[in-house]
Amino acid sequence: MAEQMNVIYERPRSWANKVTHYCPGCTHGIAHRLIAELVDEMGLLDKTIGVWPVGCSVLGYEYFSFDSVEAAHGRAPAMATGIKVTNPDNFVFAYQGDGDIASIGMAEIVHAAARGWPITVIFINNGNYGMTGGQMAPTTLLGQKTTTSPLGRTSQTNGFPIRVAEMLAQLDGPAYIARVSLDSPANIRKAKSAMRKAFNAQVRGIGFSLVECLSTCPTNWRLTPVESMERVRKEVMPYFPLGEFKVAPGVL
């Protein structure tokens, strides 16, 4: 008699079985994986539409088996709004980098959050513009060297980093806003449960949801993947604390 085997890890059905183009140690892949698992687990594959940004995850649509669209830089929340309005029963999420969401697309994300319509945003905060070669982002920490802040970011010249989750949580529109980190197995598990709440906020029609994920960019940080994870814990988390900043009644 064949022994009964327990499946403990497998490729999600929503994953298109492709090799990603991400650099070794980049956490974009982890965030992708969590999305795919949740879409599977919540039975959303047939009604999901992913809205992909301009950034390293610009080819995100290649990696999933649900429908996807590609937005202009920063405009994913607006495009997601248009999609949601036409088919309110669909599950619509936008995936955005920090340059995409907090720089060029600040108007769109603020207004999507203020409108409060049930769409979900997964926001990858890696402290720089990965795609274009490591320029300063709105989330770049003070003192951090980037290719456009060669001597390190200073508040006098470059202003202060923006805490997107806290800022949007000030608005009345959002139903769920959290910041998580992808630096360790424990934190990745927590990230997944926050994302589940965010997805649920939409599925149950409660309102706008956003999960900010502290992420790594080993290539442009010029650190090894392990050092990058450590940097997230030591340098990034003190400025960008983890937690839930807004949880509307009914979100679980």
Partner 1 sequence: MEYNVVIAGFGGQGVMLIGELLAHAGMDEGKEVTWLPSYGPEQRGGTANCAVVVADEPIASPILTEPQAAIVFNRQSFDKFEPVLAKGGLLVLDSTLIDRKSSRVDLDLVYIPATDIAMELGNSKFTNMVLLGAYLGKVNPISMASLHGALSVFLTGKKAALIEVNKRALQAGVDFVNKE
Partner 2 sequence: MSDKVLMKGAEALAEGAIQAGCRYYFGYPITPQNETPEYMSRRLPEVGGRFVQAESEVASINMVYGAACAGVRVMTSSSSPGISLMQEGISYISGSNVPCVIMNAMRGGPGLGNIAPAQADYFQAVKGGGNGDYRRIVLAPSSIQEGVDLLVDAFELADKYRMVVMIIVDGLIAQMMEPVEFKTRIDVSTLKTPEWATVGRHGRDHANVITSLTLDAAGLEQWNLKLQAKYAQVERTESRIEEYQMDDADYAIIAYGTMARIAKTTVRIARAKGVKLGLLRPITVWPFPAKQIQAYVGKLKGTLTVELAYRQLFEDVRLALCDKMPLGWYGRGGGVVPGPQEILGAFEEQFGKGR
Ligand X SMILES: Cc1ncc(C[n+]2csc(CCOP(=O)(O)OP(=O)(O)O)c2C)c(N)n1
Q: Which residues bind ligand SF4 (CB under 6 A)?
A: 22-23, 26, 28, 56, 126, 130, 217-220
**DSSP string covering 17-43, please?**
-----PPTT-THHHHHHHHHHHHHHTT
State which amino acid sits at residue 25: G
Which residue's entry shows tokens 């995100």?
Answer: 60
Cα dihedral 61→233→195→32 (10° resolution): 20
The least distance separating partner 2 from the CB of residue 72, rounded to whole angstroms, comes to 7
Task: For residue 39, give every residue at least 6 positions away whose Cβ sits within 8 Å of its Cβ, in sequence order, or none.
Answer: 12, 14, 45, 48, 64, 66, 91
| 73 counts as binding partner 1 under rule CB under 8 A | no
Question: Which of 132, 142, 247, 251 lies at the binding interface for ligand X (CB under 6 A)?
Answer: 132
**Binder of partner 2 out of 87, 147, 170, 184 (CB under 8 A):** 147
Smallest gap from residue 53 Cβ to Mg ion (A): 10
Under the binding rule (CB under 6 A), the answer on residue 124 touching ligand X is yes
Residues 173-232 binding partner 1 (CB under 8 A) are: 219
Tell whether residue 103 is a contact of partner 2 (CB under 8 A). Answer: yes
Nearer to partner 1, 148 or 158 (CB): 148
What are the counts of helices (DSSP H) followed by strands (DSSP E) for the chain? Answer: 10, 9
The string of DSSP letters for 44-65 reads -GGGEEEEE-SSGGGGGGGGBS
In the list 106, 223, 248, 251, the residue contacting partner 2 (rule: CB under 8 A) is: 106
Among 99, 161, 174, 207, binds ligand X (CB under 6 A): 99
When binding is defined by CB under 6 A, the residue of 52, 60, 91, 98 that contacts ligand X is: 98
Position 24 contacts partner 1 (CB under 8 A): yes
